[in-house]
Amino acid sequence: MFTLGNVLCGLVGLFIDDGTLALAMIAIVMIAGVIATLMPDVSLVAGAIWVVDCLVVLLADKVSAGRR
């Protein structure tokens, strides 16, 4: 149980320490949700947008963190 608590604290710390990453992820989820709602027949598009955008934002965050 102690290990699970440490893992969860670490995950929460990732989003709290970097506010831009958290805001970008929230925006991506909202955009994918809107697309999935507006185009229910093409839900694969929303999933693809979600996956690709999350990877791009994560990569951009790590590159900018490496420069700091």
In the chain, how many domains are there?
1
Structure tokens at 40: 């229910």
Residue 62 lies inside a defined structural domain of this protein: yes
Residue 43 lies inside a defined structural domain of this protein: yes
Residue 52 lies inside a defined structural domain of this protein: yes
**Which residue bears the tokens 């598009």?**
45
Residue 8 lies inside a defined structural domain of this protein: no
Residue 12 lies inside a defined structural domain of this protein: no
Residues of the chain with pLDDT under 50: none
Residue 24 lies inside a defined structural domain of this protein: yes
Residue 10 lies inside a defined structural domain of this protein: no
Q: What pLDDT was estimated at residue 14?
A: 64
Q: Is the pTM of this model over 0.75?
A: no
- Contacts of 21 by beta carbon, 8 Å cutoff, 6+ apart: 14, 15, 57, 58, 61
Q: What pLDDT was estimated at residue 6?
A: 83
* Domain region containing 28: 18-67
